[in-house]
Amino acid sequence: MSSPALSPMKKPWVVIACAAFIVTLAMGVRQSFGLFLPQMSVDIGISRSDFGLAMALQNLLFGLVQPFVGALADKHGAGRVVLGGALLYALGLIGAAFATDAIGLHISFGIFIGMAQSATTFVVVLGAVGRVVSPEKRSSAFGIVTAGGSLGQFLVVPLASMLLGDVGYHQTLWIMAGLVALCGLLAIGVAGRTDGGPGVAAEAEQTAREALREAGVHRGFWLLNAGFFVCGFHIAFIATHLPAYLDDKGLGIGIGAQVLALVGLFNILGSYIFGRAGDVLRQKYVLSGLYVARAAVIALFLFLPLTHASALLFAGAMGFLWLGTVPLTSGIVGRIFGIRHLSMLYGIVFLSHQVGSFFGAWMAGLIFDATGSYNFAWGISIALGLFAGLVHLPIADAPVRRLQPA
Three-state SS across 209-249? HHHHHHHHCCHHHHHHHHHHHHHHHHHHHHHHHHHHHHHHC
pLDDT value for 231: 95
Give the residue from 77, 102, 71, 107 showing the smallest Cα distance to 92.
107
For the chain, the helix, strand and coil percentages under 3-state DSSP, each to the nearest 5: 80, 0, 20
Distance from C-alpha of 44 to C-alpha of 175, rounded to nearest angstrom: 20
pLDDT value for 204: 54
pTM of the model: 0.75
Contact predicate 266/322, CB 8 Å: yes
For the chain, helix (H) and strand (E) counts, in that order, are: 19, 0
pLDDT in tens, 357-397: 888 888 888 888 888 889 999 999 999 999 999 999 999 88
Distance from C-alpha of 51 to C-alpha of 65, rounded to nearest angstrom: 22
Measured on CA atoms in the order 374, 298, 291, 236, is the torsion positive or negative?
positive
Distance from C-alpha of 119 to C-alpha of 76, rounded to nearest angstrom: 13
Give the residue from 34, 16, 24 showing the smallest Cα distance to 121.
24
Question: Count of CB atoms within 10 A of residue 373's CB?
Answer: 12
Distance from C-alpha of 287 to C-alpha of 296, rounded to nearest angstrom: 14
Distance from C-alpha of 153 to C-alpha of 174, rounded to nearest angstrom: 18
pLDDT value for 67: 79
Contact predicate 244/234, CB 8 Å: no
pLDDT value for 203: 52
Contact predicate 356/42, CB 8 Å: no
pLDDT value for 310: 92
**What single-letter DSSP state applies at residue 207?**
-
Distance from C-alpha of 176 to C-alpha of 288, rounded to nearest angstrom: 35
pLDDT in tens, 45-68: 888 778 878 887 887 788 788 778
Question: What's the gap between Cα 237 and its chain centre?
Answer: 13
pLDDT value for 10: 64
Distance from C-alpha of 72 to C-alpha of 165, rounded to nearest angstrom: 40
pLDDT value for 6: 45
Q: Which residues of 109-124 are buried (b: 16+ CB within 10 A; e: fewer)?
A: bbbbbbbbbbbbbbbb
pLDDT value for 193: 57
pLDDT value for 8: 47
Question: Count of CB atoms within 10 A of residue 16's CB?
Answer: 23
The segments of the chain whose pLDDT lies below 70 read: 1-10, 149, 192-205, 402-406
Domain 12-193+206-391: which CATH class? mainly alpha
pLDDT value for 200: 52
pLDDT value for 195: 52
pLDDT value for 315: 93
Give the contacts of 343 (CB within 8 A, at least 6 positions apart). Answer: 69, 70, 71, 73, 74, 78, 123, 124, 126, 127
Q: Name the 3-class secondary structure at 113.
A: helix
